[in-house]
């Protein structure tokens, strides 16, 4: 119970502009500890060094990768050539995969957010026959990790003959029980009952009320759900790996993996510089999203959001 109570309230608190009243006790006057700072610097190095290595090596040519010091720029600075080569290699497959990832993200994550928002609102603001059953089933499903479903879904889709299509990746991304849970909690608190009653008295239809009034109030919760759904579909690997074996439908994750696998096989073309540069290109957008939307991911994390 304690778990249940704490998580959503933390989510609500930080999803809104107003913050907790911790300021009464001023932490800034405390003495800084050089020792603690030194220990944490080790943690910082551990976290950033691999990324630094990645960027340094993405700026090297394939041959300099092997001949120069891995932790510093060496030889010719080839980042921009590498980027150009990454984008154009093999008829621009990287850009094509990027386009595929965008389709999976926009339709999959967008659809998941829409279904969660509408459903969560329905659960929070209406009473209907069978509601308790719906709640029990859907909230029970929050406990089933997404990865458990991948193989069973693949087996079903392959029986239905819809593997190797965009839909085989999009459809399983549409369900996000945690998103529904979050939106249910959020809608319950963010939309005053009186507001809905007033609109109904004015004779507005339920869907009109939803789109013209409720949706605005639900926006902070929606953005949190959307952010996590976007990150999950952008990073998705297991699902497309098993569903798709046509390179023209790969998302970036699977495409990069295949480039690397080809580089490693005997007789394959070593294009490590492209794998490295492609990795950098794949990280950048998601980092921008995280940085710009700090407020929302912190509230989602506070609610104990998705891990996979």
Partner 1 sequence: MTVLSAGSPPRTRGAELKPRRRRKWTGWGFIGPFLLVFLFDLVAPIVYAIYLSLFQDKLIGGNKFAGLANYTQALSDPQFWTGFERVVLFLIVQVPIMLLISLGAALAIDSARLHWTPLYRLSIFLPYAVPSVVGALMWGFLYGNQFGLVSDLDSWFHVTLPNVLQSGTWILPAIGNIVTWEFIGYNMLIFYSALQTIPGELYEAAELDNASSWRIIWHIKIPALRPAIAIATIFSIIGSFQLFTEPAVLYPIATNAIGSAFTPNYYAYNLSFNGQEYNYSATIAIVMGVITVVVAYVFQRISQRNQGA
Q: Which stretch binds partner 1 (CB under 8 A): 80-88, 89-97, 221-229, 295-303?
A: 295-303
Build a one-symbol-per-residue string for 92-111: x at contacts with partner 1 by CB under 8 A, - elsewhere. Answer: --------------------
Residue 90 makes contact with partner 1 by CB under 8 A? no
- For the chain, the farthest-separated pair of C-alpha atoms sits apart, in whole angstroms, at 76
C-beta separation of 76 from 61 below 8 A: yes
C-beta separation of 124 from 184 below 8 A: yes
The span from the CA of 241 to the CA of 250, in Å, is: 8
Residue 225 structure tokens: 């759900």
Nearer to partner 1, 102 or 134 (CB): 134
Q: Which stretch binds partner 1 (CB under 8 A): 83-91, 92-100, 217-225, 252-260?
A: 252-260
The span from the CA of 154 to the CA of 157, in Å, is: 5
Residue 135 makes contact with partner 1 by CB under 8 A? yes
The span from the CA of 222 to the CA of 112, in Å, is: 10
Binding-site member from 17, 18, 21, 267 for partner 1 (CB under 8 A): 21
Residues 172-231 that bind partner 1 (CB under 8 A): 172, 174-175, 177-178, 180-181, 185, 188, 193, 197, 206-207, 210, 231
Collapsing DSSP to helix, strand or coil, 93 comes out as helix
- Exposure b/e, 1-31, CB count within 10 A at least 16 = b: eeeeeebbebbbebbeeeeeeeeeeeeeeee
The 8-class DSSP code of residue 76 comes to: S
Residues 53-72 that bind partner 1 (CB under 8 A): 53-54, 57, 65-66, 69-71
Q: Which stretch binds partner 1 (CB under 8 A): 79-87, 92-100, 219-227, 279-287?
A: 279-287
Residue 279 makes contact with partner 1 by CB under 8 A? yes
Residue 164 makes contact with partner 1 by CB under 8 A? no
Q: Which stretch binds partner 1 (CB under 8 A): 89-97, 102-110, 114-122, 217-225?
A: 114-122
Residue 269 makes contact with partner 1 by CB under 8 A? no
């Amino acid at each position: 119970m304690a778990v249940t109570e704490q998580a959503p309230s933390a989510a609500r608190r930080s999803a809104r502009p107003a913050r907790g009243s911790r300021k009464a006790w001023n932490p800034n006057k405390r003495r800084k500890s050089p020792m603690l700072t030194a220990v944490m610097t080790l943690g910082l190095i551990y976290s950033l060094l691999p990324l630094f290595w990645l960027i340094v090596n993405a700026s090297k040519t394939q041959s300099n990768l092997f001949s120069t010091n891995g932790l510093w720029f060496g030889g010719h600075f080839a980042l921009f050539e590498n980027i150009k080569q990454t984008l154009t290699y093999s008829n621009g497959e990287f850009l094509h995969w990027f386009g595929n990832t965008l389709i999976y993200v926009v339709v999959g994550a967008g659809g998941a957010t829409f279904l969660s928002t509408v459903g969560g609102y329905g659960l929070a603001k209406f009473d209907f026959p069978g509601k308790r059953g719906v709640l029990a089933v859907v909230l029970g499903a929050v406990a089933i990790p997404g990865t458990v479903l991948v193989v069973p879904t693949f087996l079903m889709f392959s029986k239905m003959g819809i593997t190797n299509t965009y839909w085989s990746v999009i459809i399983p991304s549409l369900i996000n029980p945690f998103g529904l849970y979050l939106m249910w909690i959020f809608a319950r608190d963010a939309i005053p009952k009186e507001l809905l009653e007033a609109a109904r008295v004015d004779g507005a239809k339920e869907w009109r009320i939803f789109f013209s009034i409720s949706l605005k109030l639900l926006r902070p919760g929606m953005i949190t759900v959307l952010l996590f759904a976007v990150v999950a579909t952008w990073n998705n690997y297991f699902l497309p790996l098993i569903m798709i074996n046509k390179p023209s439908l790969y998302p970036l994750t699977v495409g990069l993996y295949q480039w690397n696998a080809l580089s490693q096989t005997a007789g394959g073309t070593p294009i490590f510089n492209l794998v490295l540069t492609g990795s950098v290109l794949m990280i950048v957008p998601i980092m921008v999203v995280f940085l710009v939307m700090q407020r929302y991911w912190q509230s989602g994390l506070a609610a104990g959001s998705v891990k996979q």
